[in-house]
Amino acid sequence: MTTAGGVMCAEERLQATIRLEKTDKVPNCPSLGYYPATCAEITPKQFLFDRERADAAVEKVFRVCGGWDVMMGQRFDAVALPVIFPMKVRMPGVDLPEDSIHQLVEEEIMTVDDYDFIAEHGYGKFMSTYFSKIHPAIPPDQVPEMRARNLKAMKEDIDKWAERGVTTLIGGVSMEPFGRFSYMRSLAKFALDIYRIPDRVKAAVDACLPDAIAMAKNMVDFTGIRRVFIGNARSSATFISPKQYERFVLPYMEKLVEALVAENITPVFHFDSDWTPFLPFFKEYPKGRCVLELDGSTDIFKAKEILGGHMCLMGDVSASLLVLGTPEEVTDYCQKLIEVVGDGGGFIFSCGCEIPVNARPENVKAMVKAGNELGWYNRE
């Protein structure tokens, strides 16, 4: 609801922004990554494994930066990491130093024959055996419970912040399997598959659709936030050609988006790497029903030219600017983002991908402050 002073509540503002309607200001939604650990001077290991300290660390960033109106949702912790990434994960304090952030291992684990298995039996059934290959130490019967715990933690966070007037962007997850297979097969092997066995790859991609829809629906029904995160980098123009995109990715994505929108679910495309040549494809998706989140590699200003008035954009203060830049440089870039990409609405102000763990604190403050102070429409 809008208050007497004409200020929208956070959820109302976010929904209106996604629908490309006029709002009072751009939503400010920094994706925190491991930065809270840095801010609160705890290790990434403590951030992952000690929820109380992690909560306090997030609180500290919020307080120190002067707050914001939208939380990203689905943070990293020791329960979430194994269930959200389809790869081996090296964890701080387990197989990496305690002060390191988690890292994903690029390894050929999914086999060529697995494409056929997925095409025949679906993604869910495949994952029940694949999971043991990437996490042999986790008994398979614990996996549903881990997923449930992760979802419950997401819901608790959503409710906790909502009480304070801060809404949450992400209430669930769906997937784009072509990009995901690249991680599971390893990039080099996968690149060869799309030349050598394209039909088998395509059949497996298409067979993932029912599970991708069910996954999203189950999560948003539980959390109450009908927006799902679809992470991807490997289907970008950094890796594949427009022709490959049109053949392997676009038909699936059109069906997925259509099905999600029919369920009143907003896809949030968290698309890292360079998508610039593929931006015209995004015009095929329904107007005002999706969010495209960019990480600084795609030209977000070009995205505004192509998709402005059609799709809400989100981003994109880059990791390198937050690590190496000065607060003045950060503020200048944020101002440009808000003025150009935010022009006329349809823009969620954020960092690119996430705030890096070694971002300069004064830069993070400058970014959040810019979102809070420069993001107002029709205000001097």
Partner 1 sequence: MEDFAEMSRLLADLEENCLISLVENRLKAGDDPMDIIDACRKGMQIVGERFESKQYFVSDLVMSGEIFSRAMALVGPHLKSNGSRPAAKVVVGTALGDIHDIGKNIVVNMLRCNGFEVFDLGVDVPPQRFVDMVRETGATIVGISALLTVAFPTMKETIQAFVDAGLRDKIKIMVGGGPVDESVSKKVGADAYGGDAVEAVRLAQSFTEVRAG
Q: Which residues bind partner 1 (CB under 8 A)?
A: 90, 100-101, 103-106, 186-188, 191-192, 194-196, 237-241, 244, 273, 277, 297, 318-320, 322-325, 356-359
Q: How far apart are CA 309 and CA 307, in angstroms?
A: 6
The closest of 81, 76, 70 to 57, measured between CA atoms, is 76
- Under a CB-based contact definition with an 8 Å cutoff, are residues 360 and 39 in contact? no
Residues 208-228, buried b or exposed e (16+ Cβ, 10 A)? bbebbbebbbebbeebebbbb
Nearest residue (CB) to partner 1, 15 versus 238:
238
If the CB atoms of residues 5 and 195 are measured against partner 1, the closer one turns out to be 195
Integer Cα distance of 167 and 49 in angstroms? 25
Q: Measured between alpha carbons, how far is 207 from 116 in angstroms, rounded to an integer?
A: 10
- CA atoms in the 13 A half-sphere facing the CB of 184: 27
From the CB of 237, what's the least distance to partner 1, in Å? 6
Amino acid at 309: G
Q: How many angstroms separate the CA atoms of 69 and 253, rounded?
A: 30
Cα gap 288→16, rounded to integer Å:
9
Rounded Cα distance between 341 and 335, Å, is 10
Comparing CB distances to partner 1, the nearer of 21 and 108 is 108
Question: What is the smallest separation between the CB atom of 191 and partner 1, expressed in angstroms?
Answer: 4
Nearer residue to partner 1 within complex by CB, 148 or 188:
188
Kindly give the residue spans of alpha helices, DSSP state H, lying in 70-172: 80-84, 112-121, 123-134, 143-162
Least separation in angstroms between residue 112's CB and partner 1 is 15
Beta carbon of residue 320, minimum distance to partner 1 (angstroms, whole number): 5
Whose Cβ is closer to partner 1: residue 311's or residue 337's?
337
For residues 342 and 356, which CB has a smaller minimum distance to partner 1 in the complex? 356
Q: How far is the CB of 202 from partner 1 (least distance, A)?
A: 15
Q: How far is the CB of 103 from partner 1 (least distance, A)?
A: 5
Query: Which residue matches tokens 């914001």?
Result: 68
Q: Tell me the C-alpha distance between 317 and 249, whole Å.
A: 27
Q: How many CA atoms lie within 13 A of 195 on its CB side?
A: 7
| Distance, CA of 48 to CA of 139 (rounded, Å) | 20
CB 82 within 8 A of CB 157: no
Closer residue to partner 1 in complex, CB, 216/351: 351
**Phi and psi (nearest 5°) for 146?**
-65, -40
Least spacing, CB of residue 157 vs partner 1, in Å: 25
Number of Cβ within 10 Å of residue 325's Cβ equals 21
Nearest alpha-carbon partner for 205 in 247, 145, 248: 248
Please list, in sequence order, all residues whose beta carbon lies within 8 angstroms of the beta carbon of residue 5, skipping any fewer than 6 positions away: none
Residue placing its CB nearer to partner 1 in the complex, 161 or 271: 271
Comparison of 179 and 345: residue with beta carbon closer to partner 1? 179
* Pick 23 or 297: Cβ nearer partner 1: 297
